[in-house]
Amino acid sequence: MVRTATHDVQTTGQGDMHDVSGSVTEAVVNYGLLNGIVTVAIAGSTAAVTTIEFEPGAVADFDAIMEVIAPRGGSYRHHEQWGDDNGSSHARAAVVGPSLTLPVIDGELQLGTWQQIVLAEFDTRPRRRRLVIQMIGE
């Protein structure tokens, strides 16, 4: 079986992170996936999907690391090309990646005790994001 669900998230801009574990788990349960894989993907070049312990300290640390990797105030050729300010957003999203695939065993999404699936917003303005949750298995 292949099943697809979507989940929309309203973000506030760069540095905003949302725990979407519940929505992914709900899709797995609703579609009756017992054993297989689930992929969570974001369509867009300025956001990403990953896992983290979703608590304020880890989220702040993640944001600080992203600022070192691709500083918002840095000089980006993307700004020159398009006259905008989100070059760091594209770089951050490319480093983290647009999707995540996890196993499902006996109907349970395989996440660690302190591991949550998150949507990381890197764009410099609020956005409405759509996650695609695709399940493959039995």
Q: How far apart are CA 35 and CA 46, in angstroms?
A: 32
Q: Express each pLDDT in 17-49 by its tens digit.
A: 999 999 999 999 999 999 999 999 999 999 999
pTM over 0.85: yes
pLDDT over 90 at 69, yes or no: yes
Q: Which domains does the chain have, with CATH numbers?
A: 2-137 (2.60.120.460)
Strand partners of residue 19 = 118
In contact, 9 and 128? CB cutoff 8 Å: yes
Tokens of 101: 């695939």
4-13 residue pLDDT tens: 999 999 999 9
119-132 pLDDT, tens digit per residue, is 999 999 999 999 99
Report the SS3 class of residue 57: helix
| Separation CA 97–CA 104 (nearest Å) | 21
